[in-house]
């Protein structure tokens, strides 16, 4: 057994110690075997679970999921501490300096009159800080690991800041229609279907942005709606002593339309 004091309540320092012990010679074999790549997906999954807790407006669930994300931060920092590269204090030092630098209207003598002006200053300071000398470098800085809908929206917003954007939603929707035609042509051998579908999705994100709709959130709601209506279809089929697989497509379509009408 490792030397660790059991407590009624623990603090951040205890979490650091626990992780150090878990990665230590008398700790957990699984924890010692991990590296940044092996637990990379865990970080993504835990972050999405925080988002789910936020959507549920459940403080207890949110507290738990924030703890899981904090564990991931501590886990990765401990790995680098063991190699002598950096530790959690260096992580805190970096973010503190970044916040101070990017809030000159709070920690300096810059005056601002609106949140829009604050965001504009933030972007300018970020580009200077990251040595993004060109507009293209600003696009390239958007993480490739982001969900593609989120990444597309961020790319479009950055391009819009230099004026490369539709004047209104009508132009964006015109592009969606154009891309739909190209997908149709690709269906019949005129073009690459994957490329054209990608262009269509990118155009749809742009249209959503002009409507001030979060495309990721919109698609998430559409998925939930699909599940809800599918469940209604299945209930209706069972009321007729049938499984969905026993129905024709036309019959399922009729149940779908009924489920839609009932909402």
Q: What is the pLDDT of residue 132?
A: 82
Measured between alpha carbons, how far is 152 from 140 in angstroms, rounded to an integer? 12
Q: What is the pLDDT of residue 25?
A: 92
Of all residues in the chain, the percent with pLDDT exceeding 90 is 81
Question: Mind listing the pLDDT tens digit for each residue in 79-119?
Answer: 999 999 999 999 999 999 999 999 999 999 999 889 989 98
The fourth-level CATH superfamily of domain 12-86 is MazG-like (1.10.287.1080)
Q: Is this structure's pTM higher than 0.85?
A: no
| Whether pLDDT at 2 is above 80 | no
Question: Mind listing the pLDDT tens digit for each residue in 189-216?
Answer: 999 999 999 999 999 999 999 999 999 9
Question: Mind listing the pLDDT tens digit for each residue in 40-86?
Answer: 999 999 999 999 999 999 999 999 999 999 999 999 999 999 999 99
Q: What is the pLDDT of residue 145?
A: 85
Q: Looking at per-residue confidence, does 138 or 248 come out higher? A: 248
When mean pLDDT is compared across 115-119, 180-184, 251-255, the lowest value belongs to 115-119
Closest by CA position to 22, among listed 71, 56, 85, 66 = 71
| Whether pLDDT at 36 is above 80 | yes
Helix residue ranges, H only, the chain? 12-23, 29-33, 40-56, 59-83, 88-102, 104-107, 115-129, 135-140, 148-160, 169-187, 193-210, 215-239, 249-262
Please answer whether residues 96 and 107 qualify as being in contact, where contact means their C-beta atoms are separated by less than 8 angstroms: no
């Amino acid at each position: 057994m490792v030397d660790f004091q059991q407590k009624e309540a623990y603090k951040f320092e205890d979490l650091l110690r626990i992780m150090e012990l878990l990665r230590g010679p008398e700790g957990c074999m699984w924890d010692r075997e991990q590296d940044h790549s092996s637990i990379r997906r865990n970080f993504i999954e835990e972050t999405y679970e925080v988002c789910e807790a936020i959507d549920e407006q459940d403080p207890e669930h949110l507290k738990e999921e924030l703890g899981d994300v904090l564990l991931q931060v501590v886990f990765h920092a401990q790995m680098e501490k063991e190699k002598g590269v950096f530790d959690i204090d260096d992580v805190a030092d970096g973010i503190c300096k970044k916040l101070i630098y990017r809030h000159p209207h709070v920690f300096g003598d810059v005056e601002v009159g609106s949140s829009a002006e604050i965001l504009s200053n933030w972007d300018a300071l970020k580009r200077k800080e990251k040595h993004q000398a060109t507009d293209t470098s600003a696009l390239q800085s958007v993480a490739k690991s982001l969900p593609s809908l989120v990444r597309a929206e961020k790319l479009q917003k950055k391009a819009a800041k230099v004026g490369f954007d539709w004047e209104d939603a009508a132009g964006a929707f015109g592009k969606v229609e154009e891309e739909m035609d190209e997908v149709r042509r690709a269906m019949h051998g005129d073009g690459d279907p994957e490329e054209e579908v990608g262009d269509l999705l990118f155009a749809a994100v742009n249209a959503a942005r002009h409507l001030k709709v979060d495309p990721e959130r919109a698609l998430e709601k559409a998925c939930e709606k699909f599940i809800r209506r599918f469940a209604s279809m299945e209930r209706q089929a069972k009321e007729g002593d049938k499984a969905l697989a026993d129905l024709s497509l036309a019959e399922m379509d009729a149940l779908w339309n009924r489920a839609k009408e009932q909402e």
